[in-house]
Structure 1
């Protein structure tokens, strides 16, 4: 049995060592368990229908503003309130950040606080689908003070805000909570139907909810990300991450080649000249169609045990999907020692180009070549990527033959510079691999 050591992110102040004998929930500490939920209240934001999200609603020839500024007041405002109350493990605003010189503009951050307080536990990296385990840390164990508000997809043409609504255990709410180990300003977690205790796996309803949130934020610098199990999700309880960073990600600037357009108008393109091979989904006759196409793709990857990361960009209009194999290669001892020494696990934010570095020497010596080399370790080989694409296109009912004829380039960068773009060979699934977190 192969084992590797890894340090997970502590996302809640109530996240404990699972080896502790005390695995009880609640005990009067105001959690989301049955012992503390009775009488709990939280603001509720019900967003407008996706077709009108991001637009002013016109009623009687008058444009109506949202009842509350979703991004500025709810997400960032409530996050700032929790910051002032001292709920975070460190001050992320004090972390040094810079843009690495070069063609791609990778963003480097020195964040030495994220790897403190190691927490040993077992976590399988060879299984994308794993059953929810209530004895492990999950989001029903967070303190209610870490929650910001309830969020739901509304059915009306305008958003609604209720400043104090009960948390209904019979109708499991979706909630937004702080990440107490933030990567960037406003780092939050979107936890769909939190009381249903869903494992970390994409389903159609939850991905659509994430697109609702991206659309409602109405700001291209607010992105949502998702890590599957085996692609550096550290908690097996369904959640998305999101934060605000006022600069473009290198992934968003990457050129791409159109492969197919689905019957519902969703354009699928292959990323070009980027260290991690991936797909870009955009367009569609509606955001529902875009969401469904990506959901079908994710379900295919999950069922075929292929780890992946997702970045939801451009207010929900673009979705990047990157299958990856870093944890598998790490377990097999096939990652270069130089990369391993950085202790960086390339999850969605790193793969998008926001490099969260844990050592000062890595930050001070950061170069585009080093960033590329680290991310390339996570990429599927060209041959394996083609095999995965064939699985995807079969699952969504499309043929990849069209893409071989079109070759249309979009999002082409007009920048100079070159880096080593050698990718890695294919790897089979590691048998019985565990990560000791």
Structure 2
């Protein structure tokens, strides 16, 4: 993991008025933080991925440096509830190489009363508006008007921005929330604008260890989470079968083979915008059909895994996106020691969408891709 020095700027120590801490939506009035502005150069011809192709694997991007510097600064200041680097991690014996983490200190992400907030996810609850420390807000990301991306050391939070906020209960190094700020009509619906910005974060981070996760909300606002994993997650090792290939358009959609939860893989090496548009409309279709889903963005934004779950009486609570990817957290030493591949396979397959539903989703996905790509 690359270690970088924190930015020396006393203005980064944020101070919020008391009324801002309890409001139902984040209030940015009077706050000045670092602003990372996306450049416009590589959005021409929808070829964003070419914008970072010149960088070597050893060269750290500006956005990657900024995120790690700010996150490590908060770690040094004691803003996290525990030291995530001390957590024990093991590979579960078996063909799929599931990963298990023992973390007895992990608790809810700021929520104490699940019933009050009508949430059933146990690992991904965001209540940034209830935070007691405004320093949990690291910086924000927005679209700029200059050719190259740039960092403004201190400025007011603009509209249509993404707030980068630490998760005080991290599951891995660099764990943050990506929260939309002042996006019109963006509450429980993941729209193409926000999704495009989030995927672009992965592109400009340009670090293969960086993953982004999304859990389709039922009773909360839209947001992503992200952190760094040193190795590929189990689902990334699985073979795929191409379902849709747009040829020179540069995107293709595949089904992940021999995996316990039904999964589609959206991939592109060049046509960033079309991939995002197809994915966004597919997610909207799933929401209309009341099909729970999760997303995992990997490979510097070139791949997006779509996990499909079934909401039934026997599975009232959905798995988190990292669980769908094969990374499981355990609070008890006994459960951690006794975890087997068979147990985790059952955990995933139990919540998976059935074959009939998966066939319907694949048909809808191909129809959407044909409409947008051609």
Provide the TM-score with structure 1 as the length reference: 0.70
Match of 1:146 among 131, 136, 147: 136
Return the alpha-carbon distance in structure 2 between the equivalents of residues 35 and 26 of structure 1: 12
Structure 2: runs of 5+ lacking an equivalent = 1-15, 43-47
Match of 1:158? 148
1:159-215 deviation per Cα after TM superposition (whole angstroms, max 9, x unaligned): 2111111124xx343211101111111001111225758313210001111111000
Q: Which has the higher contact order (CA 8 A, sep 6+)?
A: 1
Return the alpha-carbon distance in structure 2 between the equivalents of residues 378 and 333 of structure 1: 9
Instruction: Compute the RMSD of aligned alpha carbons.
Output: 3.0
Deviation at 1:282, TM superposition (A): 0.9
Q: Number of paired residues?
A: 339
Match of 2:70? 78
- Is 2:355 the counterpart of 1:386? no
Q: Is the 8 A contact 1:266 1:293 kept in 2?
A: no
- Is 2:191 the counterpart of 1:203? yes
Match of 1:22? none
Match of 1:39 among 30, 33, 36: 30
Give the secondary structure class of the aligned counterpart of 2:195.
helix
Q: Is the 8 A contact 2:261 2:353 kept in 1?
A: yes
Give the secondary structure class of the aligned counterpart of 1:201.
coil
Match of 1:19? none
Give the secondary structure class of the aligned counterpart of 1:248.
coil
Q: Is the 8 A contact 2:244 2:253 kept in 1?
A: yes
Match of 2:300? 315
CA shift in 2, pair 1:194/1:249, >3 Å: farther
Q: Is the 8 A contact 1:92 1:185 kept in 2?
A: yes
CA shift in 2, pair 1:370/1:194, >3 Å: farther
1:289-317 deviation per Cα after TM superposition (whole angstroms, max 9, x unaligned): 11111111111111222110001110000
Return the alpha-carbon distance in structure 2 between the equivalents of residues 198 and 244 of structure 1: 27
1:339-373 deviation per Cα after TM superposition (whole angstroms, max 9, x unaligned): xxxxx962100110111122211111122222211
Deviation at 1:223, TM superposition (A): 0.7
- Is 2:336 the counterpart of 1:363? yes
Matching of residues 264-413 of structure 1 within 5 Å: 264-283=249-268, 285-325=270-310, 328-329=311-312, 332-333=313-314, 346-397=319-370
Return the alpha-carbon distance in structure 1 between the equivalents of residues 350 and 62 of structure 2: 41
Deviation at 1:101, TM superposition (A): 2.1
Match of 1:422? none
Match of 2:113? 119
Return the alpha-carbon distance in structure 1 between the equivalents of residues 357 and 196 of structure 2: 29
Match of 2:246? 262
CA shift in 2, pair 1:334/1:88, >3 Å: closer
Return the alpha-carbon distance in structure 2 between the equivalents of residues 394 and 258 of structure 1: 15
Structure 1: runs of 5+ lacking an equivalent = 1-24, 58-64, 127-135, 336-343, 399-437
Provide the TM-score with structure 2 as the length reference: 0.81
